[in-house]
Amino acid sequence: MAAASSSSASPKTTMERRGIPGAQFVEDVETYLSQTGLDVNSALAFLQERLQQYKLVEMKLLAQQRDLQAKIPDIEKCLDVVATLQAKKGTGEALIADFEVSEGIYSRARIEDNDSVCLWLGANVMLEYSCEEATSLLKKNLENAKASLEVLIADLQFLRDQVTITQVTIARVYNWDVHQRRIHQTSASTAAKDS
Amino acid sequence: MQQGPGGSETEVTWEDQQNINKFGRLNNRFHELEDEIKTAKETNDNLEDASNELILTDEEVVRFQIGEVFAHVPKEEVETRIEEMKEVTSKNLEKLEEEKESVLAQMTELKTILYGKFKDSINLEED
Protein backbone atom coordinates (compact mmCIF):
# COMPACT_ATOMS: atom_id res chain seq x y z
CA MET A 1 0.00 0.00 0.00
CA ALA A 2 1.45 3.34 -1.05
CA ALA A 3 0.77 5.09 2.25
CA ALA A 4 2.38 2.28 4.23
CA SER A 5 5.56 2.21 2.15
CA SER A 6 6.14 5.94 2.46
CA SER A 7 5.56 5.78 6.18
CA SER A 8 8.07 2.98 6.69
CA ALA A 9 10.72 5.14 5.00
CA SER A 10 10.22 8.22 7.19
CA PRO A 11 8.38 7.59 10.42
CA LYS A 12 9.04 11.08 11.74
CA THR A 13 7.38 13.07 8.93
CA THR A 14 3.65 13.47 9.27
CA MET A 15 1.87 12.41 6.12
CA GLU A 16 -1.39 13.95 5.15
CA ARG A 17 -4.04 12.33 3.03
CA ARG A 18 -6.84 14.23 1.34
CA GLY A 19 -7.23 16.73 4.11
CA ILE A 20 -6.75 14.25 6.96
CA PRO A 21 -3.68 15.25 8.98
CA GLY A 22 -1.35 12.41 9.79
CA ALA A 23 -0.60 11.51 13.38
CA GLN A 24 3.04 12.07 14.25
CA PHE A 25 4.71 8.94 15.51
CA VAL A 26 6.53 9.51 18.79
CA GLU A 27 9.89 7.77 19.10
CA ASP A 28 10.54 8.92 22.62
CA VAL A 29 7.99 10.53 24.90
CA GLU A 30 10.45 12.82 26.68
CA THR A 31 11.88 14.18 23.42
CA TYR A 32 8.36 14.65 22.07
CA LEU A 33 7.30 16.67 25.11
CA SER A 34 10.39 18.89 25.04
CA GLN A 35 10.07 19.36 21.24
CA THR A 36 6.49 20.49 21.40
CA GLY A 37 7.15 22.42 24.59
CA LEU A 38 3.96 21.05 26.12
CA ASP A 39 3.50 19.73 29.60
CA VAL A 40 1.86 16.36 30.04
CA ASN A 41 -1.70 17.59 30.51
CA SER A 42 -1.62 19.91 27.52
CA ALA A 43 -0.13 17.17 25.38
CA LEU A 44 -2.84 14.73 26.47
CA ALA A 45 -5.54 17.33 25.81
CA PHE A 46 -4.14 18.03 22.34
CA LEU A 47 -4.00 14.33 21.50
CA GLN A 48 -7.54 13.72 22.79
CA GLU A 49 -8.83 16.58 20.66
CA ARG A 50 -7.08 15.14 17.62
CA LEU A 51 -8.73 11.81 18.38
CA GLN A 52 -12.18 13.42 18.44
CA GLN A 53 -11.52 15.13 15.12
CA TYR A 54 -10.49 11.81 13.62
CA LYS A 55 -13.68 10.20 14.93
CA LEU A 56 -15.80 12.89 13.29
CA VAL A 57 -14.11 12.39 9.93
CA GLU A 58 -14.48 8.63 10.33
CA MET A 59 -18.25 8.94 10.79
CA LYS A 60 -18.50 11.10 7.69
CA LEU A 61 -16.50 8.66 5.59
CA LEU A 62 -18.48 5.68 6.91
CA ALA A 63 -21.74 7.38 5.88
CA GLN A 64 -20.34 8.01 2.40
CA GLN A 65 -19.24 4.39 2.20
CA ARG A 66 -22.71 3.16 3.11
CA ASP A 67 -24.26 5.36 0.40
CA LEU A 68 -21.89 4.06 -2.25
CA GLN A 69 -22.39 0.47 -1.16
CA ALA A 70 -26.15 0.92 -1.63
CA LYS A 71 -25.73 2.68 -4.98
CA ILE A 72 -23.67 -0.05 -6.61
CA PRO A 73 -26.31 -2.83 -6.51
CA ASP A 74 -28.88 -0.32 -7.81
CA ILE A 75 -26.76 0.42 -10.86
CA GLU A 76 -26.23 -3.30 -11.40
CA LYS A 77 -30.00 -3.87 -11.29
CA CYS A 78 -30.49 -1.16 -13.93
CA LEU A 79 -27.90 -2.79 -16.16
CA ASP A 80 -29.76 -6.06 -15.75
CA VAL A 81 -33.03 -4.52 -16.90
CA VAL A 82 -31.48 -2.87 -19.94
CA ALA A 83 -29.77 -6.13 -20.86
CA THR A 84 -33.09 -8.01 -20.57
CA LEU A 85 -34.83 -5.45 -22.79
CA GLN A 86 -32.08 -5.75 -25.38
CA ALA A 87 -32.34 -9.53 -25.31
CA LYS A 88 -36.09 -9.36 -25.84
CA LYS A 89 -35.60 -7.01 -28.79
CA GLY A 90 -34.36 -9.81 -30.98
CA THR A 91 -37.27 -12.15 -30.31
CA GLY A 92 -40.03 -9.72 -31.29
CA GLU A 93 -42.24 -10.64 -28.37
CA ALA A 94 -43.25 -8.10 -25.79
CA LEU A 95 -42.03 -8.30 -22.24
CA ILE A 96 -44.83 -8.61 -19.72
CA ALA A 97 -43.92 -7.33 -16.28
CA ASP A 98 -45.68 -6.71 -12.99
CA PHE A 99 -44.60 -3.45 -11.47
CA GLU A 100 -45.41 -1.55 -8.31
CA VAL A 101 -47.88 1.30 -8.81
CA SER A 102 -47.98 2.18 -5.15
CA GLU A 103 -46.99 0.36 -2.01
CA GLY A 104 -48.56 -3.08 -2.12
CA ILE A 105 -50.38 -2.39 -5.40
CA TYR A 106 -49.02 -3.93 -8.58
CA SER A 107 -50.12 -3.63 -12.17
CA ARG A 108 -49.24 -5.47 -15.35
CA ALA A 109 -47.36 -3.75 -18.14
CA ARG A 110 -46.67 -4.86 -21.65
CA ILE A 111 -43.33 -3.54 -22.85
CA GLU A 112 -43.18 -3.59 -26.63
CA ASP A 113 -40.10 -3.79 -28.71
CA ASN A 114 -38.15 -0.70 -27.99
CA ASP A 115 -34.90 0.85 -29.03
CA SER A 116 -34.62 3.32 -26.23
CA VAL A 117 -34.87 3.56 -22.50
CA CYS A 118 -35.17 6.54 -20.20
CA LEU A 119 -32.62 6.96 -17.47
CA TRP A 120 -33.23 8.91 -14.29
CA LEU A 121 -30.22 11.16 -13.83
CA GLY A 122 -31.29 12.72 -10.56
CA ALA A 123 -32.38 16.30 -9.84
CA ASN A 124 -35.76 15.67 -11.50
CA VAL A 125 -34.09 15.01 -14.83
CA MET A 126 -34.77 12.00 -17.01
CA LEU A 127 -33.21 11.48 -20.42
CA GLU A 128 -33.97 9.05 -23.21
CA TYR A 129 -31.09 6.91 -24.43
CA SER A 130 -30.72 4.11 -26.94
CA CYS A 131 -30.15 0.76 -25.29
CA GLU A 132 -26.44 0.74 -26.16
CA GLU A 133 -25.89 4.29 -24.93
CA ALA A 134 -27.78 3.47 -21.75
CA THR A 135 -25.65 0.38 -21.15
CA SER A 136 -22.40 2.29 -21.63
CA LEU A 137 -23.56 5.16 -19.41
CA LEU A 138 -24.62 2.78 -16.67
CA LYS A 139 -21.37 0.83 -16.96
CA LYS A 140 -19.40 4.06 -16.66
CA ASN A 141 -21.39 5.07 -13.57
CA LEU A 142 -20.79 1.66 -12.05
CA GLU A 143 -17.03 1.91 -12.65
CA ASN A 144 -16.91 5.41 -11.14
CA ALA A 145 -18.85 4.26 -8.10
CA LYS A 146 -16.56 1.27 -7.61
CA ALA A 147 -13.44 3.44 -7.99
CA SER A 148 -14.77 6.03 -5.51
CA LEU A 149 -15.52 3.23 -3.07
CA GLU A 150 -11.96 1.95 -3.31
CA VAL A 151 -10.50 5.41 -2.65
CA LEU A 152 -12.90 5.82 0.28
CA ILE A 153 -11.88 2.50 1.79
CA ALA A 154 -8.20 3.46 1.49
CA ASP A 155 -8.98 6.80 3.20
CA LEU A 156 -10.73 4.97 6.02
CA GLN A 157 -7.77 2.63 6.50
CA PHE A 158 -5.38 5.57 6.66
CA LEU A 159 -7.67 7.29 9.13
CA ARG A 160 -7.92 4.21 11.35
CA ASP A 161 -4.13 3.94 11.39
CA GLN A 162 -3.86 7.55 12.55
CA VAL A 163 -6.44 6.86 15.27
CA THR A 164 -4.44 3.84 16.45
CA ILE A 165 -1.18 5.81 16.49
CA THR A 166 -2.84 8.61 18.47
CA GLN A 167 -4.35 6.16 20.97
CA VAL A 168 -0.98 4.48 21.52
CA THR A 169 0.73 7.88 21.92
CA ILE A 170 -1.86 8.95 24.52
CA ALA A 171 -1.25 5.74 26.48
CA ARG A 172 2.53 6.20 26.32
CA VAL A 173 2.47 9.86 27.39
CA TYR A 174 0.19 8.97 30.29
CA ASN A 175 2.40 6.08 31.38
CA TRP A 176 5.54 8.18 31.07
CA ASP A 177 3.89 10.72 33.36
CA VAL A 178 2.95 8.04 35.91
CA HIS A 179 6.49 6.66 35.71
CA GLN A 180 7.98 10.15 36.27
CA ARG A 181 5.75 10.78 39.26
CA ARG A 182 6.76 7.44 40.75
CA ILE A 183 10.45 8.30 40.31
CA HIS A 184 9.98 11.71 41.91
CA GLN A 185 8.04 10.21 44.78
CA THR A 186 10.74 7.59 45.43
CA SER A 187 13.54 10.19 45.27
CA ALA A 188 11.55 12.58 47.45
CA SER A 189 10.91 9.89 50.09
CA THR A 190 14.61 8.80 49.92
CA ALA A 191 15.65 12.43 50.41
CA ALA A 192 13.23 12.71 53.36
CA LYS A 193 14.67 9.50 54.87
CA ASP A 194 18.26 10.75 54.48
CA SER A 195 17.73 14.18 56.04
CA MET B 1 -9.07 -4.49 20.35
CA GLN B 2 -7.58 -2.20 22.91
CA GLN B 3 -4.03 -1.06 23.25
CA GLY B 4 -3.45 -1.41 26.96
CA PRO B 5 -1.01 1.03 28.55
CA GLY B 6 2.57 0.25 27.57
CA GLY B 7 4.90 -0.73 30.39
CA SER B 8 7.20 2.05 31.40
CA GLU B 9 10.19 -0.08 30.40
CA THR B 10 9.05 -1.26 26.96
CA GLU B 11 9.55 1.29 24.25
CA VAL B 12 7.29 1.32 21.21
CA THR B 13 9.25 1.39 17.97
CA TRP B 14 7.91 2.46 14.60
CA GLU B 15 7.85 -1.18 13.55
CA ASP B 16 5.72 -2.05 16.59
CA GLN B 17 3.36 0.78 15.73
CA GLN B 18 3.07 -0.49 12.19
CA ASN B 19 2.31 -3.98 13.48
CA ILE B 20 -0.37 -2.60 15.79
CA ASN B 21 -1.85 -0.61 12.91
CA LYS B 22 -1.85 -3.67 10.69
CA PHE B 23 -3.56 -5.72 13.39
CA GLY B 24 -6.25 -3.05 13.74
CA ARG B 25 -6.82 -3.01 10.00
CA LEU B 26 -7.02 -6.80 9.83
CA ASN B 27 -9.45 -6.88 12.74
CA ASN B 28 -11.74 -4.42 10.98
CA ARG B 29 -11.56 -6.40 7.75
CA PHE B 30 -12.35 -9.56 9.72
CA HIS B 31 -15.60 -8.08 11.04
CA GLU B 32 -16.55 -6.75 7.61
CA LEU B 33 -15.92 -10.21 6.15
CA GLU B 34 -18.12 -11.84 8.79
CA ASP B 35 -20.99 -9.56 7.81
CA GLU B 36 -20.43 -10.14 4.11
CA ILE B 37 -20.31 -13.90 4.62
CA LYS B 38 -23.58 -13.76 6.56
CA THR B 39 -25.26 -11.84 3.72
CA ALA B 40 -23.86 -14.19 1.09
CA LYS B 41 -25.12 -17.23 3.04
CA GLU B 42 -28.60 -15.66 3.26
CA THR B 43 -28.63 -14.98 -0.49
CA ASN B 44 -27.56 -18.58 -1.09
CA ASP B 45 -30.38 -19.89 1.10
CA ASN B 46 -32.91 -17.68 -0.65
CA LEU B 47 -31.79 -18.95 -4.04
CA GLU B 48 -32.05 -22.55 -2.75
CA ASP B 49 -35.60 -21.91 -1.54
CA ALA B 50 -36.47 -20.25 -4.83
CA SER B 51 -35.25 -23.17 -6.94
CA ASN B 52 -37.09 -25.63 -4.65
CA GLU B 53 -40.31 -23.65 -5.07
CA LEU B 54 -39.69 -23.65 -8.79
CA ILE B 55 -39.58 -27.43 -8.90
CA LEU B 56 -42.85 -27.65 -6.97
CA THR B 57 -44.78 -25.12 -9.04
CA ASP B 58 -46.71 -26.20 -12.11
CA GLU B 59 -47.06 -22.78 -13.69
CA GLU B 60 -45.39 -22.26 -17.01
CA VAL B 61 -44.65 -18.60 -16.53
CA VAL B 62 -42.89 -17.33 -13.43
CA ARG B 63 -42.65 -13.75 -12.27
CA PHE B 64 -38.91 -13.20 -11.98
CA GLN B 65 -37.61 -10.02 -10.39
CA ILE B 66 -35.42 -7.99 -12.72
CA GLY B 67 -34.53 -4.61 -11.28
CA GLU B 68 -37.64 -3.29 -9.60
CA VAL B 69 -40.25 -5.12 -11.70
CA PHE B 70 -41.37 -8.72 -11.91
CA ALA B 71 -41.07 -9.87 -15.49
CA HIS B 72 -43.03 -12.82 -16.83
CA VAL B 73 -40.37 -15.33 -17.71
CA PRO B 74 -40.77 -18.93 -18.88
CA LYS B 75 -39.96 -21.51 -16.23
CA GLU B 76 -36.86 -22.95 -17.94
CA GLU B 77 -35.26 -19.55 -18.30
CA VAL B 78 -35.89 -18.85 -14.63
CA GLU B 79 -34.27 -22.17 -13.73
CA THR B 80 -31.19 -21.30 -15.77
CA ARG B 81 -30.99 -17.83 -14.27
CA ILE B 82 -31.27 -19.13 -10.74
CA GLU B 83 -28.58 -21.74 -11.39
CA GLU B 84 -26.26 -19.01 -12.68
CA MET B 85 -26.97 -16.82 -9.67
CA LYS B 86 -26.29 -19.74 -7.34
CA GLU B 87 -22.94 -20.33 -9.07
CA VAL B 88 -21.95 -16.70 -8.64
CA THR B 89 -23.00 -16.58 -5.00
CA SER B 90 -21.23 -19.80 -4.02
CA LYS B 91 -18.01 -18.69 -5.74
CA ASN B 92 -18.25 -15.37 -3.91
CA LEU B 93 -18.88 -17.15 -0.61
CA GLU B 94 -15.86 -19.38 -1.17
CA LYS B 95 -13.67 -16.37 -1.90
CA LEU B 96 -14.88 -14.60 1.24
CA GLU B 97 -14.25 -17.66 3.42
CA GLU B 98 -10.72 -17.94 2.01
CA GLU B 99 -10.02 -14.30 2.73
CA LYS B 100 -11.34 -14.75 6.26
CA GLU B 101 -8.95 -17.67 6.86
CA SER B 102 -6.02 -15.64 5.58
CA VAL B 103 -6.93 -12.64 7.74
CA LEU B 104 -7.25 -14.85 10.83
CA ALA B 105 -3.84 -16.42 10.13
CA GLN B 106 -2.18 -13.03 9.77
CA MET B 107 -3.84 -11.83 12.96
CA THR B 108 -2.61 -14.85 14.91
CA GLU B 109 0.91 -14.24 13.63
CA LEU B 110 0.80 -10.58 14.65
CA LYS B 111 -0.59 -11.53 18.06
CA THR B 112 2.44 -13.78 18.65
CA ILE B 113 4.83 -10.97 17.72
CA LEU B 114 3.07 -8.28 19.73
CA TYR B 115 2.39 -10.38 22.84
CA GLY B 116 6.02 -11.49 22.60
CA LYS B 117 7.24 -7.93 22.91
CA PHE B 118 4.60 -6.35 25.12
CA LYS B 119 3.26 -9.31 27.13
CA ASP B 120 0.65 -7.94 29.50
CA SER B 121 0.94 -4.36 28.37
CA ILE B 122 -1.19 -4.95 25.29
CA ASN B 123 -4.64 -6.43 24.87
CA LEU B 124 -5.56 -7.78 21.46
CA GLU B 125 -8.73 -9.67 22.33
CA GLU B 126 -12.32 -8.81 21.50
CA ASP B 127 -14.09 -7.17 24.41
- Domains of chain B: residue spans and CATH: 14-118 (1.10.287.370)
| Beta carbons of A88 and A114 less than 8 angstroms apart | no
Three-class DSSP category at B68 = coil
Mutate to test the interface with B, among A168, A169, A181 (most CBs of B within 10 A): A168
Q: What is the pTM of this model?
A: 0.81
**What number is the average pLDDT over the span B93-118?**
95
Other beta carbons less than 10 A from residue B4's beta carbon: 13
Q: Is residue A13 part of a domain?
A: no
The confidence score (pLDDT) of residue B6 equals 43
| Long-range contact pairs involving A59-65 (C-beta distance under 8 Å, separation at least 24) | A61/A152, A61/A155, A61/A156, A61/A159, A62/A156, A64/A152, A65/A149, A65/A152, A65/A153, A65/A156
Task: Please give the pLDDT value at position A14.
Answer: 61
pLDDT score at B121: 84
pLDDT band at B127 (very low <50, low <70, confident <90, very high): low
Inside any domain, residue A155:
yes
Query: Residue A174: which of B5, B24, B63 has the nearest Cβ?
Result: B5
The CATH number of the domain holding residue A152 is 1.10.287
DSSP letter for each residue of A80-142:
HHHHHHHHHHHH-PPEEEEEEEETTEEEEEEE---SEEEEEEETTEEEEEEHHHHHHHHHHHH
Q: What is the pLDDT of residue A73?
A: 93
**Structural domain includes residue A17:** no
Interface test with A, best of B3, B11, B114 (most A CBs within 10 A): B3
| Tally of domains in chain A | 1
Return phi, psi of residue A129, to 5°. -130, 155
Mean pLDDT of B79-84: 93
Measured between CA atoms, how close is B43 to chain A, in angstroms? 14
CB A51 within 8 A of CB A163: yes
Contact A96, A79 (CB under 8 A): no
* DSSP state letters, A34-87: HHHT--HHHHHHHHHHHHHHHHHHHHHHHHHHHHHHHHHHHHHHHHHHHHHHHH
Across the range B98-116, mean pLDDT stands at 95
d(CA B20, CA B117) in angstroms, rounded, equals 12
Range of the domain at A34: 28-88+131-168
Q: Which residues of A fall within a CB distance of 8 Å from B33?
A: none
* DSSP category for residue B40: H
Rg of chain B in Å (alpha carbons): 23
In a domain, A39, yes or no: yes
Residue A125 maps to a domain? no
Higher local confidence (pLDDT), A35 or B106: B106
Q: Is residue A111 part of a domain?
A: no
Residue A105: how many CA atoms within 13 Å on its side-chain side? Answer: 2
Q: Flag whether A151 is in a domain.
A: yes
Buried/exposed A26-35: b ≥16 CB within 10 Å, e otherwise: beebeebbee
What average pLDDT is seen over chain B?
A: 89
A/B interface, count of CB pairs below 8 Å? 79
User: Under an 8 Å CB criterion, which residues of B touch A?
Assistant: 3-8, 11-14, 17-18, 20-21, 24-25, 28, 63, 66-72
State whether B7 and A175 contact (CB < 8 Å): yes
In this complex, is the C-beta atom of A86 within 8 Å of any C-beta atom belonging to chain B?
no
Q: Do B14 and A81 touch (CB under 8 A)?
A: no
A76 within some domain: yes
Regions of chain A with pLDDT less than 50: 1-12
**B48-73 per-position pLDDT tens digit:** 999 999 999 888 889 898 888 898 98
Mutate to test the interface with B, among A85, A106, A161 (most CBs of B within 10 A): A161
For residue B8, the chain A residues in CB contact (below 8 A) are: 175-176, 178-179
Q: H-helix or E-strand containing B7?
A: none
Give B19-40 pLDDT, tens digit per residue. Answer: 999 999 999 999 999 999 999 9
